[in-house]
Amino acid sequence: MAIETTRKAVQLWHQMIKTGNLSILSDLLSEEVVFRSPVAYKPYEGKQVVFFILSNVIQVFQDFAYHREFYTDDSESVVLEFSANVSGKSLKGIDMIRFNDQGEITDFEVMIRPMSGLAALAEQMGARLAKYQTAQP
């Protein structure tokens, strides 16, 4: 994989965060994307559920900002360091994102600290996911 493909995809990701244009997110996610949540034991699989999760996290986070990014030697992955607030609790975290040769996200793992920020996020997202899962056929 070429580093240019990954860097272009990461630029699109940053553009989506900045503008709130979620059609970019739909274009970035592969059909087989896997999301590994900091609060769920089992990964979420598939474009539809991962789109729901990421688009809702964007709404839950306040004062969200990325600070640094690191690329792996194989150019397939990037780690993005971020900070945000949720329900008055500050948190820091990283997004570990792997891309395929087409620049689509295939694996998205999030790690967050401290526990108080993670708990606030879990509470906010838990309610949203419960509604989503109830609405699915």
Q: Is 2 exposed, middle or buried (0-12, 13-18, 19+ CB in 10 A)?
A: exposed
Alpha-carbon span 67 to 84, nearest angstrom: 11
CATH numeric code, 3-132 = 3.10.450.50
Q: Token match 């994102």: residue?
A: 97
DSSP-assigned beta bridge partners for residue 99: 105
Task: For helices 47-60 and 115-135, give the axis angle rounded to 10 degrees.
Answer: 130
Side-by-side strand order, sheet with 29-36:
44-45, 29-36, 105-113, 89-99, 77-86, 62-71
Q: What tens-digit pLDDT sequence spans the chain (137 residues)?
A: 578 999 999 999 999 999 989 999 999 999 999 999 998 889 999 999 999 999 988 888 999 999 999 999 998 999 999 999 999 999 999 999 999 999 999 999 999 999 988 988 888 887 777 776 677 66
Domain boundaries, the chain: 3-132
